[in-house]
Amino acid sequence: MARLWICVGTATFFLAFLVFHSRFCRSPGLGSFAFVVSWRTEKPLYRLDVGWPKYPEYFTGTTFCVAVDSLHGLVYVAQRGDNIPKVLVFTEDGYFLRAWNDTVDTPHGIFAASTQYEQSVWITDVGSDFVMQWIRGENGTGPGQFNIPHSITVDSTGRVWVADRGNKRIQVFDKNTGEWLGSWSDCFKEDSPYSVRFTPDEKYLIVAQLNINRLILLSAPPIGNIGDCVVVSTVQLASQVSPHLVDVDRKTGAIYVAELGAEQVQKYVPLK
Q: How far apart are CA 42 and CA 235, in angstroms?
A: 11
Per-residue confidence (pLDDT) for residue 8, from 0 to 100: 43
Q: How far apart are CA 208 and CA 265, in angstroms?
A: 13
Q: Is the dihedral of CA 8, 10, 11, 17 positive or negative?
A: positive
Number of domains in the chain: 1
> Around Cβ 58, how many Cβ atoms within 10 Å?
17
* 4 inside domain: no
Residues 6+ apart with CB under 8 A from 12: none
Residues 6+ apart with CB under 8 A from 9: none
What are the Cα distances from residue 66, in Å, to 7, 89, 143, 243?
50, 10, 29, 11
Q: Output the domain CATH number for residue 216.
A: 2.120.10.30
* 6 inside domain: no
- Each residue's pLDDT, cut to its tens digit, for the chain (272 residues) gives 444 444 445 444 444 444 444 444 443 433 333 333 333 446 789 999 999 999 999 999 999 999 999 999 999 999 999 999 999 999 999 999 999 876 788 898 998 887 878 888 888 887 766 555 445 678 999 999 999 999 999 999 999 999 999 999 999 998 888 889 999 999 999 999 999 999 999 999 999 999 999 999 999 998 877 999 999 999 999 999 999 999 999 999 999 999 999 999 999 999 97
Per-residue confidence (pLDDT) for residue 167, from 0 to 100: 97
pTM of the predicted model as reported, rounded to 2 decimal places: 0.79
* 207 inside domain: yes
Q: How far apart are CA 140 and CA 156, in angstroms?
A: 28
> Around Cβ 223, how many Cβ atoms within 10 Å?
10
* 1 inside domain: no
Residues 6+ apart with CB under 8 A from 174: 158, 159, 160, 181
Instruction: Annotate 105-138 with b (16+ C-beta within 10 A) or e (fewer).
Output: eebbbbbbeeeeeeeebebebeeeeeeeeeeebe
Question: Which structural domain range is residue 68 located in?
Answer: 46-125+144-270
* 27 inside domain: no
* 9 inside domain: no
